[in-house]
Structure formats: C-alpha cells, structure tokens
Amino acid sequence: DARVTQTPRHKVTEMGQEVTMRCQPILGHNTVFWYRQTMMQGLELLAYFRNRAPLDDSGMPKDRFSAEMPDATLATLKIQPSEPRDSAVYFCASGLGGGSYEQYFGPGTRLTVT
Amino acid sequence: AQSVTQLGSHVSVSEGALVLLRCNYSSSVPPYLFWYVQYPNQGLQLLLKYTSAATLVKGINGFEAEFKKSETSFHLTKPSAHMSDAAEYFCAVSENQGAQKLVFGQGTRLTINP
C-alpha cells in the first residue's frame, strides 16, 4: 500500500531554531506539494515541485522558508528561524502528474514553536 | 481563477440521516472536481473525483457526488450517516493553468449525533 510518509510527526521547538520537515513521496509520483493547515487560514499551498524542479513557491514566506527536493524520493521544508506564528500542521502531498490532478497526502507534521 | 465555496463550515446530522455537504465552484474551463475527507490528526484522503466522465460519481464509504454544470455545483451526499463519518470534508477544483494544482475550499466539519 503506497503512501506518502512524513517525518517527524510532531515537533516542538523554541523560537529562533531551525526546523526541517521531510517527505517521501509515493514512488513514481513526479509532483510534490507542501501545504500548511491552521484553524484560522485553513489549507494553504506553500510550494510545489514537478520532476524535482520548484514550479511555484509564492505561498511561502521567502525570508525564512525554503523547500527542496534533493532527489526524487525526498522533499524537505525548512524554516529558519522559526517563529510562533509558524505553528501549524504541515502536509506533503504527491501526485502522478501527466494530467492527473489527484493528490495523495501524508499524515502531516504538527509543528509547535514556543 | 478557479475557486471553491463550501456552504456551511459545520454540518450536524443524526446517525442514519441523509448527509448533504454543499460545494459550488467557479472555473473558466471544464473542471476536475474532488472531495477529500480528513479524520482527526490525519492527512486528507481522496473520497471521490469527477473528471468529465459520468456526472454522478461514487466514492468510498458510501459517498457520492453529482456534477451539475448549470448550477456549478458538486454536492456530496450519503444516504445514511454513520458515526464513523464524523470528519472534515474538503471540496477542491483543478486550477487549470498547466500547473496541476488544486484549489481547496475552507472545509465543512461534519458531526454525527447518536
């Protein structure tokens, strides 16, 4: 049963610290999406990749967030320095691309910045 | 630009009653439409999708949705609610600008009363 995996599932950190979240997309999927979910804002698209190339990161605060795909099996989202307002659940999703819009979501990383 | 409106942020029904969750979309091109479900502390899971084939789409867990172009709607229904249906439901429309992104609604929280 192919699934998107995310690590860590939970992260508590202090303001100013660097946070790295990792995602392993489903094997064979060539699109990867990063979302942030909060009670106030709902589900927000932060960035997405196709064939490891970043296509759009306009949803990310550029000064502190960065997203990369070092290889086809790993996507990372980094926050440096973290702030309390970054507290949220971060989801990674992957898709087949090639005209398919279906996205398959990971279980999320719940980030708390104190 | 494509958009989705989910009418009612909270819906409450009795166990065994009809479930109706409303979704209206805006799209300048024939859309692909999706319903996702999110159980507590989990990622989003695809319930069903419309991709321009049959207008009545059946999904998992007894849910179905009907695409009505004249009403720009894609409401989700289930004839008889079960306690396990309690979750948040998201409607999404394809953003057809070559990017294969989805635009999500704000979500509807479904509560089932015993």
Query: What is the bridge-based pairing of β-strands A109-113 and A10-13?
Result: parallel
For range A19-24, the mean pLDDT:
98
How many Cβ contacts (< 8 angstroms) between chains A and B?
49
Of A31, A45, A107, the CB nearest to B43: A107
pLDDT of residue B68: 94
> Nearest residue on chain B to A46, judged by CA atoms?
B101
Q: B44–A91: do the CB atoms touch at under 8 Å?
A: yes
Q: B100–A107: do the CB atoms touch at under 8 Å?
A: no
Say if residue A70's pLDDT is above 90. Answer: yes
pLDDT of residue B99: 63
The length of chain B in residues reads 114
* CA distance, residue A31 to nearest chain B CA (Å): 9
> End-to-end distance of chain B based on CA atoms, in angstroms?
41
Say if residue B97's pLDDT is above 80. Answer: no
Counting other chains too, the contacts that B54-57 makes at CB distance below 8 Å and 24 or more residues apart are none
Lowest mean pLDDT, pick from A53-57, A109-113, B76-80? A53-57
Q: B102–A106: do the CB atoms touch at under 8 Å?
A: no
Q: A101–B46: do the CB atoms touch at under 8 Å?
A: no
Residue B7 — very low, low, confident or very high, per pLDDT cuts 50/70/90?
very high
> Nearest residue on chain A to B42, judged by CA atoms?
A107
Q: What residues are paired with A21 via a beta bridge?
A: A77
Q: B101–A99: do the CB atoms touch at under 8 Å?
A: no
Tell which of A90, A102, A109, A110 to mutate to test the B interface (max B CBs under 10 Å). A102
CA neighbor of A86 nearest in space, from A59, A113, A49, A52:
A113
CA neighbor of B45 nearest in space, from A91, A57, A74, A54:
A91
Of A101, A106, A107, the CB nearest to B102: A101
Residue B96 — very low, low, confident or very high, per pLDDT cuts 50/70/90?
low
